[in-house]
Amino acid sequence: MKKSIRRSLSMTREMAQRLNQIASGKPRNITEADLIREAIRRFLDEQDDLTGSRKHFQRSFQQRIDQLEEAIAFQLNVLIYLLDADEAELREAIITARERGGTLLAQMKAVREVKDKGQ
């Protein structure tokens, strides 16, 4: 059996009335305690700095994706410039890819931000 930790809390009369109103609109098996637990769970999941929270995972996952995007963009730029380069231009192609890679990354970031705003 899973052990529970009990907590007590105080709330304003208005909060208690609102909670009761919400609970009364739910199926009978959903209690006020269930609603309070769900509210706390959602709050904890939204905390950036709480290791293990959804927000923390999303942020660290996005950072890793950004790093991978940067590496892939650089490699794609090198390949594109190499298609037109001969052996003597190889070094210049790599330098150019590094210089212009930021532009591609900025474009990818702008597209991602537009997409995120639409969700």
Cα 32 to chain centroid, rounded: 30
Rounded CA-CA distance 56/5 in Å is 25
Look up the pTM and report it: 0.42
| Confidence band for 53, pLDDT divided at 50, 70 and 90 | low
Residue with tokens 């909060």: 15
Q: Where is pLDDT greater, at 21 or 4?
A: 21
* Listed residue (93, 91, 66, 89) closest to 81, CA to CA: 93
26 vs 79, more confident: 26
**Percent of the chain residues past pLDDT 90, beyond the cut:** 13
